[in-house]
Amino acid sequence: MTGKRWVLILPALLLAACSTGQQATAPTPTSTTAPAPAAATRALGLYELSIQGSGAQASGRVTTAALRSQEIAGLTFTVTGVQVVTNGDGSRNYTAALNVTNTSGAAIGAPAIIPADIAGYTESGTYFRAGATTNQSGAPTSASGITLTQVTDSTYSMLFPVTGVSGADFAVPGGSSVTAVSAQGWRTPTLAAGATQAMSLGFTIPASNDAYRFSLVFGAFDKTPAVNHLVISQLYGAGGNGSAALNTDYVELFNPTNNVISTAGMSLQYASPAGAFVTNNTGQFYPLTTASIAPGRFLLIRMPIGTNGGTVTATPDQQGTLTLGAANGKVALASNGTAVAGPTATNVIDFIGYGTGNNITFEGTAAAPAMSLTLADQRSPSPCTDTNNNSADLVSFTVTAGSARNSTSTPVACP
């Protein structure tokens, strides 16, 4: 490409369970819940974003005319601004603010975009079109060393890991092809037909790159996260006990979906391994205060403070009332205030049976690990994990004051 082609293509692909306790005497497997739906991926197209005035003076701007669909008329992007910050080492951080409008005529479930390499335009595996990068005099310049940075000032522009998407998902006009896509991309919430959503993209240019005009190519797609409901992501039950690591029990909730979820009407419930869930005992039943949990965010419910142990560092989002079993028990997140009948009951959003005990129930084939004075349970390898099999989805770990995450903790974007 010549220096005149510096437009950046932005891909338009914006985009539980309980069963009743058994009467057997040994730990009894409960029925397995339905597997989580597989993440679906739908390619939407390729787009190009151009930026100019990005020289060593770090005065940058994004031209709206430079952002245009190359292929599918499903999304319309409007650049609303760009921030350029020069770091101490001379590198520059760019944050481009965009409005994304769904013009496809149908809802897009999980609009997501990922930087892409285009054959014939790529330089050294970066996500810039080589020939499209020029200095202020219009001469070509190196565009290597571009990195993506997480944008933390927007709830909806999380950088998320990209899986299940390849260059083959995208068609490129003019006979070129997408040779690679980035391992990370950005998301916005579900876009209804005709709806507009603000989003922002962040990236860094090293000091060694003096590009004045450059382009960034994106593939847009619709990829729905695998888990479509809130999960109990971490829990601790020995709070306040003698020699306990912490002075409170807690339950941490997480939103692995692409949309804001309200806890209105939901309840947290606890029962011993053999016990039934009830609603008339505050140690076993806590109606959640209404809160909105953004995509990738946590909600921390601290239980009553006891005598022994350290204080959880994260400020609790809610003060709960439950008294969890220190080693063994069952915790359910219910969609309403009705006592949970078991792991596959219709009002169960998520359910964790942990440890052992007669008649203990759980999701899947076995319970999550037993906890202890110093051990808590959490989803692994990430809070995104929920295959509805407690033994496979959760691990125990040595809990510390800093283990629990709250609504201001670093968000986790789920693949």
Nearest approach, Cβ of 363 to Ca ion (angstroms)?
Answer: 5
Burial of 317 (0-12, 13-18, 19+ CB in 10 A): buried
Nearer to Ca ion, 71 or 386 (CB): 386
CB of 392 to Ca ion, least distance (A): 11
Choice between 364 and 411, CB closer to Ca ion: 364
We find the least distance from the C-beta atom of residue 250 to Ca ion, in angstroms, to be 19
Between CA 368 and CA 66 the distance in angstroms is: 52
In whole angstroms, how close is the CB of 229 to Ca ion at the nearest point?
A: 8
Q: H or E stretch including 99?
A: strand 92-102
Site residues for Ca ion, window 304-323 (CB under 5 A)? none
Determine contact, residues 371/326, Cβ cutoff 8 Å.
yes
Nearest to 82 by CA among 94, 68, 91: 94
When the beta carbons of 122 and 388 are compared against Ca ion, the nearer one is 388
- In the bound state with Ca ion, the residue whose beta carbon lies nearer, of 123 and 386, is 386
Count residues contacting Ca ion (CB under 5 A)? 4
One-character DSSP codes across 380-410: SS-TT---S-HHHHEEEEE--TT----TTSP
Shortest distance in whole angstroms from residue 397 CB to Ca ion:
19
Of 9-17, 201-209, 259-267, 394-402, the window that binds Ca ion (rule: CB under 5 A) is 9-17
- Identity of the residue numbered 114: I
Cis ω for the linkage preceding 304 (within 30 of 0): no
**Contact positions with Ca ion (CB under 5 A) in 340-399:** 350, 386, 388
Return the number of the residue (54 or 224) whose C-beta is nearest Ca ion. 224
Per-residue binder mask for Ca ion (CB under 5 A), 246-285, x = binder:
----------------------------------------
φ, ψ of residue 322 in degrees (nearest 5): -70, 150
- Closer Cβ to Ca ion, 224 or 390, answer by number: 390
Three-state DSSP at 29 gives: coil
C-beta closer to Ca ion: residue 75 or 226: 226
Cβ distance to Ca ion smaller for residue 33 or 104: 33
Looking at residues 19 to 58 of the shown chain, list those that interact with Ca ion (rule: CB under 5 A).
none
Tell me the closest approach of the beta carbon of residue 137 to Ca ion, in angstroms: 59
CA-to-CA dists, residue 21 to 236, 340, 366, 387, angstroms: 23, 11, 14, 21
| Least CB distance to Ca ion at residue 263 (A) | 16
Cα–Cα distances in angstroms (integers) from residue 197 to residues 161, 261, 308, in the given order? 21, 17, 48
Per the CB < 8 A criterion, the answer to whether 323 and 249 are in contact is yes
Smallest distance from the beta carbon of 287 to Ca ion, in angstroms?
21
Residue from 16, 75, 148, 232 in contact with Ca ion (CB under 5 A): 16
H helices of 312-399, in order, are 390-393
Q: Residue 193 and residue 103: Cα distance in Å, rounded?
A: 7
321 phi-psi bin (left φ>0, alpha ψ -120 to 50, beta other):
alpha
Smallest distance, Ca ion to C-beta of residue 308, A = 32
Question: Most distant CA pair in the chain: distance in Å?
Answer: 81
Choice between 141 and 257, CB closer to Ca ion: 257
Q: Which residue ranges make up the site for Ca ion (CB under 5 A)?
A: 16, 350, 386, 388
